[in-house]
Chain A
Amino acid sequence: ILNVEQSPQSLHVQEGDSTNFTCSFPSSNFYALHWYRWETAKSPEALFVMTLNGDEKKKGRISATLNTKEGYSYLYIKGSQPEDSATYLCALHTGGFKTIFGAGTRLFVKA
């Protein structure tokens, strides 16, 4: 059974801090890696879909990198703001019509 791991489970930072967290996955059968932001009482929102080893994507203050050979992706948030408080989910696509989600990293940004 394929497993996607995210660390840390939760993270508390001060406003203005930069932070990063990790998604680890088995590198075999890799097709794509998704990142989502999930705010409380809302639905998960797509951030990035990454496919190529060495890929780096950016959306405002959020960026992500991908290493398919060693099986990990980092998500970075520069200058965290309270509105960045959310759960960040990664999901592995190994082909077919589904993804396998990690448990998420819960980020709390204190003003």
Chain B
Amino acid sequence: EPEVTQTPSHQVTQMGQEVILRCVPISNHLYFYWYRQILGQKVEFLVSFYNNEISEKSEIFDDQFSVERPDGSNFTLKIRSTKLEDSAMYFCASSEKDLGTGGYTFGSGTRLTVV
């Protein structure tokens, strides 16, 4: 069964450093997403990407964050100047159809620890 692949599975970074989280969505999916879950909190939306551009972003997704789909297969989340509060599990997801019709296929997540 097709999978969404995320790398690395765990990343530890120093506060103030930049990190890039990588994802390979399912090849025939059209919609791409990043979500995160801070320990003990709900899964929260960061950004969605459709038709080669950001389709929606949350208030969390400020200038510190950016996404790219550079080569038609990878989908990356860059976090500049990381803060302690960025520590979370980051999930990439993709969907074949819009969310009124189909659900997400999630990757297994990247646990980001900012020290």
Question: Which chain B residues numbered 54 to 101 have a C-beta less than 8 Å away from chain A?
Answer: 55-56, 58, 91, 98-101
Contacts of B99 in A (CB 8 A): 31-32, 34, 49, 93, 97-99
Binds B, one of A20-28, A59-67, A75-83, A100-108: A100-108
Q: Please measure, in the bound complex, the distance between the C-alpha atom of A58 and the C-alpha atom of B21, giving whole angstroms.
A: 36
CB distance from A7 to the nearest CB of B (A): 14
Residues of A in contact (CB 8 Å), total 26
- Segment 29-48 of B: residues with Cβ below 8 Å from A: 31, 33, 35, 42-45, 48
Is A71's CB within 8 Å of the partner chain B?
Answer: no
Are B100 and A101 within 8 A (Cβ)?
A: no
Q: In whole angstroms, how far apart are the Cα atoms of A102 and B44 in the complex? A: 9
Answer whether A43 and B91 are a contact pair too, CB < 8 Å, given A97-B55, A99-B45, A101-B42: yes
How many residues in B have their beta carbons less than 8 Å from beta carbons of A?
A: 26
Interface contact A43-B42, CB-CB below 8 Å: no
A86 at the interface (CB under 8 A from B): no
Asked if A97 and B31 sit within 8 Å, CB to CB, the answer is yes
Kindly identify which residue among A31, A42, A45, A101 contacts B43, using a CB–CB cutoff of 8 Å.
Answer: A101
Chain A residues close to B by CB (< 8 Å): 31-32, 34, 36, 42-49, 51, 89, 91, 93, 95-104
